[in-house]
Amino acid sequence: MVARDKEDLSGQQIGNYEIESHIAARKASDLFLARDVKLERLVFLEVLRTTAEEDENLAARFRRRMETVSQLKEPSIAVVSDLDITDDGFPYAVIDYFPGTTLADRLAELNRTQGPMPVIEALELAKQLAQALGVAHAAGLIHHDLRPENIMLREDGAPVLIDLGLPIVLDPAAPGVNGAASEMLDYASPEELEGKGITRRSNIYSFGVLLYELLSGHRPKLPVLPFDIFPQANMPKEEPLEEARPGLAGETYRLVRNCLWRQEWSRFETADELITAIETAIFAEQELPKAATWTPKPNRSFLVIIPVALLVLGLLGFLILRNARSGQAEAEDTPAAETTPGDVAGVATNDPAVTPSPTATATIELATESAGEVAIPALSPGPGREFTVEDTIDFDWYWPPLPQPGQHFALYLIDGDQEYKLGALTEPNNGISYRLTVDGADIPVTGENLGWQVRLENITGGGVEVASDVIPIIIRALTPTPSPTGTAAPATPTVTPTLAEACVVSPPPGWVLYTIRTGDSLSNLSERANIPVEDLIAVNCLPNDLLSVGQQVWVPLAAVPRTPTPPSVNPTSAPPPPTAGGSTPEPRPPTTTTQPEPATDTPEPATDTPEPPTKTPPVQQP
C-alpha cells in the first residue's frame, strides 16, 4: 500500500522496487530513489499523487506522456523504462538512474563559493537544455514546470530532464504576473500565472529566467520604485541582465531579453530559433569583439555629466573642423593625376574601359589595406550552386554586431567587372542571421561565371566596412527543348532541378507514421500537435495541404487522434474499398466518454485505453 504522505515511504516496496529516499516533490507527483530488488540496480520512481479512480483524466495523461517520453532519444531527457500502477491505484513510472544532483543545488553551491557560473559554461548548459526542449516540443510535449529544482545534472555537468512526462497542472492560487509576494520573477510564464494555457513559448520564458539566473546568480529582480518601470507595455520590467552582470557580449543580452518578453509573440517562436541564438552568443563570447552594451550608472549626478558632455562635444567639434581644413589644404597641394579610383588591383588609371564604382573601390581597398580583417561568413547558396530565373534564391549570412545607424548590409551579384545590387538589410532576421530572398525573375544577368557578395557599407557614401568572400554561383536562363524530329516546335521551358527540389522525408525524433482517415486534415493534425501546418508539409515533402484517405504521413505522436475511427461492424468480411463517389461512413458505436484534455496539455494518443474501438490503426475485429 502507498501512503498519502509520499515523503514518508522509505523502506516501502512498490512492485519490484524498494524505496530508499524521497528526492523531490512536484505539483502532482513525487520523485523517489528506489532499488530494483530483482535486478539489483538503482532507479528513479515518479509516483502520481492521485489514483486513477480519483482523477481518471490526470492518470491517463500521465501514462500517455510517459509513453511518449519513452520513445524519445535525447541525452538530456531521462529514459523511461517501465510504467505500472500500485496495488492501491497510484500510477508510477520507472526512470533509469544516473548519479548527480539538481541544478538548484549547483547554483546554491556557486553562490556560496565563486559567484555566477562562467558565461561559456552557462551558455553550453543552456544549449543542451534547449535541445532537449526542441525534441520534446517536436513530439508534442510541453514541460510542466521548468525550474532548477526539476533539472538534474549528471556527474559531468550535463543537464537531464527527468520530469518531462508529468502532466501540466495549473495552480489557480498562483501569484500575479508581477509577483506581489516576491522581489524576483518566478520561472512560470506570465500567461501561466494568469491561469491561461501554456505553450512552447511559455517554456522559452521559463528557460529565459533560468538562463538569467545561470549568468547572474539570481533570478531577475523586480523594480521597487515606480519610476524604474518602463512605460512601454512590451518592455521587460525586471532588472536588465546588463545591470546584473555587465561586460558580456551584446548577443548574450539579446538572447536573454528575447526569452523574457511579457507577450508570447515577442519571444522566440521555436526551440530551433533559441538554439541558433545561443550558438550566436557563444560565438560572440569566444571569437568576435563584443558589441557595445549599455551599463547604466544610476548614482551618477547629472550636474557632473552634463558639463563633461558639453566639454567633450566642444573638443570633438574643434578636432573635426581642424581635420577638415587640413584635408582641404592637402588636396590643393596634391597633383590631381597622381592617384585616381581606377588605380586598384593593378589596373591602369588611363584605361577608359574600366570604371569601377565607388563601392567596388572601397571593397578592394578593404581587401588590400585591412590585412587580417574578418570576412562576413556567407552561408548559402554555397559555391557552384545552380539556379534558373524561375527559382527563388535565399541568400544567407550572419554577423554578430548589429549595423550602426547609417549602415546596412548590401547584396551584390558580380559579373566580371560589372556588379548589380540585389537588395539590402538593416536588421537580422533572427539573432545574427540575415536572409535576403531574391526572385530569379529579378536577377539582371545570367551565366556561369557569376558570384555573389554581401557587404556592410554606409548607406549614403557607399564606403565598405567589411565584406564576405565572393561566392561563385550559376544562374541559367530558360532554354527551349529541341524537337526530336528536327522540325521547328514550340519552345518549352526546361528548368534545371536544384538541390532545394530534392526533398527527403526526414521525420524528427518522436514522430510516427500515421494513416489518414476520413475527416483528417493537416490543420487538425497540426492543431493537436501544436505545430505549424508548414512543418508537416516540409517534413513529409507534401506539394500542398491536401490529404487523401489512406495516405501515410509522419506526424508528432500528439497529433494522432485519441479516438480513431472504429473498425467495420461486419465480422466476417473485410470492409469494401472506397468508391470514387465516396461511401456513407458506418455509424460510430458508443464509446466510453473520457474527460477532455485541458487546454494546457497537448493531446496525445491513448495507447492503454481498454476499449477495443480505440486501437490505432483500425484492424478487423475477430
Nine cell digits for residue 279:
550558438
- Does the structure show a pLDDT above 70 at 70? yes
Which residues contact residue 215 at a Cβ distance below 8 angstroms, ignoring those fewer than 6 apart? 116, 117, 119, 122, 241, 244, 245, 248, 252, 256
Per-residue confidence band for 259, with pLDDT thresholds at 50, 70 and 90: very high
- Taking a C-beta distance cutoff of 8 angstroms, is the pair 517, 584 a contact? no
Say which CATH topology domain 503-564+603-622 has: Membrane-bound Lytic Murein Transglycosylase D; Chain A (3.10.350)
Per-residue confidence band for 45, with pLDDT thresholds at 50, 70 and 90: very high
CATH architecture of 101-286: Orthogonal Bundle (1.10)
Q: Half-sphere exposure of 350 toward its Cβ, with a 13 Å CA cutoff? A: 2
Nine cell digits for residue 82:
517501465
Nine cell digits for residue 136:
520534446
Question: For the structural domain made of 6-96, what CATH number should be given?
Answer: 3.30.200.20
Give the mean pLDDT of 581-607. 44
Q: What is the pLDDT of residue 321?
A: 65
> pLDDT by residue (tens digit) across 311-342?
667 767 666 766 665 555 444 444 444 433 33
**Every domain of the chain and the residues it spans:** 6-96, 101-286, 361-480, 503-564+603-622
Q: Half-sphere exposure of 122 toward its Cβ, with a 13 Å CA cutoff? A: 24
Give the mean pLDDT of 108-129. 92
Kindly report whether the global pTM for this prediction surpasses the value 0.75: no
- Does the structure show a pLDDT above 70 at 455? yes
Residue 288 C-alpha from the chain's centroid? 23
CATH superfamily for domain 361-480: Immunoglobulins (2.60.40.10)
- Does the structure show a pLDDT above 50 at 393? yes
Domains 361-480 and 503-564+603-622 share a fold: no
- Greater confidence, 342 or 33? 33
- Taking a C-beta distance cutoff of 8 angstroms, is the pair 113, 147 a contact? no
Say which range, 126-130, 170-174, 297-301, has the weakest mean pLDDT: 297-301
DSSP 221: B
